[in-house]
Amino acid sequence: MDARYSFETLISAEALAAKVSELGKQITRDYRDKDTVFVGILKGSFIFMSDLVRQVQLDKLEICFMMVSSYGSGTRSSGNIIIKKDLENDLEGKHVLIVEDIIDSGNTLTYLKKYLANRRAASVRVCTILDKPSRRETELVPDYRGFEIPDAFVVGYGLDYDERFRELPEVCILHLDGKQA
C-alpha cells in the first residue's frame, strides 16, 4: 500500500454488521406490506445496500440505483449536484427508501428527496450507515441511521478517496502524509 496513506479504524466490520442487522429489522417492521423501492446511491452505498437488503424481509421490494455526484476528486462536497445515472423505475404510489453511505452537508439527499417525491412516490425516506451532523447545511435528518461520526474524512465499506479504498471492510479515518484528509 502507498506509504502516503494510513488508516485509523473508526468502526469495525463487526460493529457494521451488527448495525446493518438492526437497521434491517427496523425497516422490515416499518415497510411490511408496502410496495417498496430501495434506491442505492452509487458508488458509495453498494456494499451497505448489499448487506442491508439481505437483512430485510419484504415481499414487495424493488432495488435500483442512481449515480449522483457532488464531490469530484476532493475530500469536500463541491455543492454542485449532478445526476449521472437516473432511475428507470416507476415510483408512483411506491414507498422509496434512499440508501446512502454517508450524509455530510445533506444537500444531495435534500435534493434527491424532492426529486424522487416529484415522481409521485407515496413516501421518500433516507437510510444511511454514517451520519456527520456537524457538517449539515440543511434540515435533513435521516429516518434510519447507523452511526454518527465526527468531522473526519472516512473511507472503507464502500466509501472512497479518489476511487480508492472502497474495499476496506471497516470504516477508517484516512490520513494523508501523516495528516487527516
Write the CATH number for 129. 3.40.50.2020
Give how many domains the chain has, as a whole number: 1
164 inside domain = no
24 inside domain = yes
Task: Report the distance separating Cα 159 and Cα 147, nearest Å.
Answer: 14
Lookup: cell for 51: 448487506
**β 61-69/82-85 pair status:** antiparallel
Instruction: Give the torsion sign (CA, 41, 42, 44, 49).
Output: positive
124 inside domain = yes
pTM for the whole structure: 0.90
Check 2, 90, 101, 104 and give the catalytic one. Answer: 104
DSSP secondary structure letter of residue 21 = H
Element containing residue 178 per DSSP (H, E): none
49 inside domain = yes
5 inside domain = no
State the DSSP string of 108-147: HHHHHHHHHHTTT-SEEEEEEEEE-GGG--S----SEEEE
C-alpha 28, offset from chain centre:
18
Structural domain for 23, as ranges: 14-149
pLDDT digits (tens, 9 = 90+) for 148-165: 999 999 999 999 998 999
Task: Report the distance separating Cα 142 and Cα 112, nearest Å.
Answer: 13
Q: Answer whether residue 181 shows pLDDT above 90.
A: no
Q: Grade residue 2 by pLDDT with cuts at 50, 70 and 90.
A: low
- The residue among 59, 82, 58, 61 whose CA lies nearest residue 70 is 82
44 inside domain = yes
Q: Find the farthest-apart pair of alpha carbons in the chain and give their distance in angstroms, rounded.
A: 51
Contacts of 59 (CB under 8 A, 6+ apart): 33
* 104 flagged as catalytic: yes
- Tell me, what's the pLDDT at 36? 97
163 inside domain = no
158 inside domain = no
